């Protein structure tokens, strides 16, 4: 007959609770999982289910819930899960930034998408790019890669690890520049084309003042912008796949820096 002591029960609960906190922190900040449309109960239930599946195979933490070190371990799990989620947000933000810049050059900055979920409004092209990026993220099995990286974190940064280097957090902050770099790389061909078009319209207006640039320029810019946008769309899957790959490599680097 197997007897369940209070120490064994406390160990089982702690071995489940600490991974649950890290996974829930990820689902609360990562794209797709943290969308306003996703109910909070669904995130908690999903985190509970993933924890129940992976916790038996994870290294035992041996960190009691009611101890002096428990509060520090709790902050660690929240921080690690948040780092993973924010790192993925950078990839999506770079594509949204490209959509915002392209929409601004095309004259669509006034057209904003009213988010029915209550989130902040964003330019319509940025919203379209964001939805396409989410779709490509699922097509490339990015959600499975993210869960795989999450499980690896329990081996790279074990629960109860006392050493915690701030260099990893500094790398995450410095990675914020990738939003503008990647976004401009995607938008640069169309920005260059529309800049040349606007310069041509300006020169044409100086040569023939009778021509109303505002009447001709807006529909011409919008039409050429749409045609150019349709030409760069086939490059979006290749671009997002590279951004996702770089993001997962950056996450691996950050995790190793946290314990270095």
Task: Report the SS3 class of residue 113.
Answer: strand
Query: How far is Cα 74 from Cα 109, in angstroms, rounded to an integer?
Result: 43
Cβ–Cβ < 8 Å for 14, 64: yes
Which pLDDT does position 15 carry in this prediction? 84
Q: What does the pLDDT look like over 43-87, one tens digit per residue?
A: 889 999 999 999 888 887 777 777 778 888 899 899 999 999 999
Q: What are phi and psi of 117, to 5 degrees?
A: -80, -5
Residue 68: φ, ψ to 5°: -65, -30
Q: Kindly report the number of other CB atoms within 10 A of residue 199's CB atom.
A: 10
Q: Tell me, what's the pLDDT at 6?
A: 67
For the question of whether the overall pTM of this predicted structure is more than 0.95, the answer is: no
If you compute the radius of gyration of the chain from its CA atoms, what whole number of angstroms results? Answer: 24
- Say how far residue 6 (Cα) sits from the centre of its chain: 41
pLDDT at 242: 92
Return the H-helix or E-strand segment holding 17: helix 6-29
Query: Could you say which residues of the chain have pLDDT below 70?
Result: 1-7, 109-121, 162
Say what the pLDDT of residue 117 is. Answer: 44
Q: What's the CA gap between 9 and 67, in Å, rounded?
A: 16
What pLDDT, on the 0 to 100 scale, is given for residue 112? 61
Contact 95, 240 (CB under 8 A): yes
Fill in the DSSP letter of residue 59.
P
**Given this model, what pLDDT does residue 203 score?**
84
Question: What is residue 108's predicted lDDT score, i.e. its pLDDT?
Answer: 74
The residue count of the chain comes to 260
The Cα–Cα gap between 135 and 7 comes to: 46
């Amino acid at each position: 007959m197997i007897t369940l002591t209070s120490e064994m029960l406390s160990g089982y609960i702690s071995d489940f609770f600490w991974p649950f906190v890290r996974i829930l922190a990820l689902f609360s900040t990562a794209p797709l999982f943290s969308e306003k449309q996703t109910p909070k109960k669904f995130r908690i239930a999903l985190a509970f289910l993933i924890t129940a599946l992976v916790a038996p195979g994870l290294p035992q933490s041996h960190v009691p819930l009611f101890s002096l070190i428990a509060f520090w371990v709790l902050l660690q799990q929240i921080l690690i899960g948040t780092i993973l989620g924010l790192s993925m947000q950078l990839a999506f933000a770079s594509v949204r930034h490209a959509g915002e810049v392209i929409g601004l050059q095309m004259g669509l900055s006034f057209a904003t998408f009213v988010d029915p979920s209550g989130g902040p409004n964003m330019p319509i092209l940025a919203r379209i790019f964001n939805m396409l990026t989410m779709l490509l993220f699922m097509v490339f099995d990015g959600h499975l890669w993210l869960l795989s990286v999450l499980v690896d974190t329990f081996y790279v940064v074990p629960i109860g690890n006392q050493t915690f280097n701030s260099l990893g957090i500094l790398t995450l902050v410095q990675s914020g520049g990738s939003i503008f770099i990647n976004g401009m790389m995607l938008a640069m061909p169309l920005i260059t084309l529309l800049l040349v078009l606007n310069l041509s319209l300006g020169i044409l207006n100086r040569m023939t003042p009778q021509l109303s640039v505002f009447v001709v320029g807006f529909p011409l810019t919008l039409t050429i912008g749409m045609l150019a946008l349709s030409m760069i769309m086939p490059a979006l899957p290749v671009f997002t796949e590279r951004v996702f790959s770089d993001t997962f490599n950056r996450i691996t680097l950050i995790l190793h820096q946290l314990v270095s």
